[in-house]
Structure 1
Amino acid sequence: MSEQTISRRDRLRAATSAEIKVTAMKLLADGGPDAISLRAIAREMGMTAGAIYSYFATRDDLITALIGDIYSAVVIAAEAARDAVPEDNPGGRIMAWAQAIRDWAVADPAGFRLIYGDPVPGYRPPDDGPGKDAELRACTGLVGLVAAAWPAAQAVETAGHPYAWSDFDPGLVAHVRADFPDLPPAGIAVTLRTWGRMHGLVALEIYGHLRPLTTDPSTIYQDEIGDLIRSLGLRAVDQIDARNPGSTDLPTRR
């Protein structure tokens, strides 16, 4: 009986915590970062301010939890899309990862803005936690995509700037050198450029700058990622079937 009571209490607490997060994201979507406050959430949910503080002691604790949940979910989706493509198709894996990022952002623009856009006024992220773990996992995933493409990309990049490890954050360098010991410093530069190209058009779309100018932002995005893939010396396709991103039956752009 006692175990059943505790289990029910835990389920109710988890459900309320989830509702608090959903309400916070609704306030963010409707009113921007300034709209997130525990008191506002309590009013929306019909709770007392004291009751909501028993779930999240501070607004920053709630925001940290939101970032951790959202960031973890998008990384898992990107990894799943990548892993659905064979390892011997590095260009397809890059396209699948990028497409998963855009799909998530279009479906959850408030989540994209929370992670990659508008800072929440006064929010100070912790030095560690689920958000930092997911950020590192996303970064490692991107580096892995570049590392897999490096045999082809190296020939393209050797004429570029002679990067050194000291050009990059020491913590990032330590992870890259541990996980991808054969990747030179230029590999980090290519990773950062890859990240910028994956997210650039998405940010323009989410913030309303792209859609007034085109009826087909999806195709423009696919063409941009295709060009990115070709810039790495890899085979790219003109179009991608989102249900089968690993297909090699699609035409290449010459």
Structure 2
Amino acid sequence: MARRTETGTGAGAGVAGRGRRERLRAETTAEIKDTALRLMASGGPDAITLRAIAREMGMTANAIYGYFATRDDLVTTLVDDVYSALADAVEAAWANAPAADPAGRILAWARTFRIWALANPEGFRLVYGDPVPGYRAPEGGPAPDAARRVCTGLAGLAAAAWPFAEPLYRDSAFTWSDFDPGLLDKVRPAFPELPPAGVALALRLWGHLHGLVALEVYGHLGRQTTSPDKLFEEELTRLVTTLGVPRSA
């Protein structure tokens, strides 16, 4: 009597097969993105090419095109992933700080930004370092929207500080025309009380935070001080004090 072999048939087997294919595709997609970031970290933005990634992963060039049709599609996905992860982190920090403590919210957002950047240096370099040569972002694509979430968070810092800092900027010459319309589409509905000078303050805050974090991510501060965390914390404290934002006991 012939031995019976159990094989999957019917709708259940089809669903299971699709599930395995989808899981394998998701795993391969994640590996492609991780490989791209590693190549960029070791070889700079020029190193992100689909052929180089395929070689690194032992895939054929044609196979990798089944996941990303062009290098720019991959870069756009990476940029969106990075900005979305950063926005998720700082938004959670902001939400978890008491609304009645504006200084605490500003400090929580800023500290989380630094922690995220140090934990994800390749992602930080991708979105805040040298641009990928020849890369053209899609018009109105997902990456700009994710980036504006971070910018909207910075506007939230300015909005928290504005009731105290406003006297410092009464002579500001900024008008709405000085800012990107896409940014304003996000910022103005979220913070209708914030004037153009307040949006400019958000960018000033960004300069303070980004400058020290970038120096640390790129290894420059490590050559000058053994306490970059202390330097960052004191800069935050002085910044909040200068703006006149009271700190909670």
Give the TM-score normalised by the residue count of structure 2. 0.91
Per the TM alignment, residue 180 of structure 1 is displaced from its structure 2 partner at its CA by: 1.8
User: Structure 1's 174 and 26: CA in aligned 2 closer, same or farther, altered over 3 A?
Assistant: closer
Question: Is 1:57–2:84 an aligned residue pair?
Answer: no
Q: Please show how residues 1-254 of structure 1 align to structure 2 within 5 Å.
A: 1-158=13-170, 160-236=171-247, 248-249=248-249
State the distance in 2 between where 1:8 and 1:123 align: 33
Unaligned runs of 5+ in 2: 1-12
Q: How far did 1:35 drift? A: 1.0
Shift of 1:174: 3.6
| 19 and 11 in structure 1: CA distance in 2 versus 1, 3 angstrom threshold | same
Gaps of 5+ in 1: 237-247, 250-254
Distance in 1 of aligned mates of 2:22 and 2:104: 43
Answer whether contact 2:80 2:142 (CA < 8 A) is retained.
yes
- Aligned letter for 1:36? I
Q: How far off its partner does 1:208 sit?
A: 2.3
Q: Is the 8 A contact 1:177 1:183 kept in 2?
A: yes
Match of residue 9 from structure 2? none
Inter-partner Cα distance in structure 2 for 1:222 and 1:89: 17
Matched position secondary structure for 1:34:
helix
- How far is the alpha carbon of 1:109 from its aligned partner? 1.3
Once the two structures are superposed, what CA deviation does each residue of 1:8-56 show, in whole Å capped at 9, x if it has no partner?
Answer: 1111100000011111111111111111111111111111111000000
Instruction: Give the number of equivalent residue pairs.
Output: 237
Maintained 8 Å contact 1:68/1:129:
no
What is the Cα deviation at residue 222 of structure 1? 1.0
Q: Mean alpha-carbon deviation: is it higher for 184-193 or for 225-234?
A: 225-234
Residue identity over aligned pairs, in percent, reads 58
Q: Which amino acid aligns with 1:85?
A: A
Asked if the contact 1:91–1:234 (Cα under 8 Å) also holds between the matched residues in 2, the reply is: yes
CA distance in 2 between counterparts of 1:119 and 1:28 reads 11
CA displacement at 1:173 relative to structure 2: 2.9
Q: How many Å apart are 1:167 and its aligned residue?
A: 2.2
For the pair shown, the structure with the greater C-alpha radius of gyration is 2
- Distance in 2 (CA, whole Å) between partners of 1:182 and 1:107 is 35
Aligned match of 1:241: none
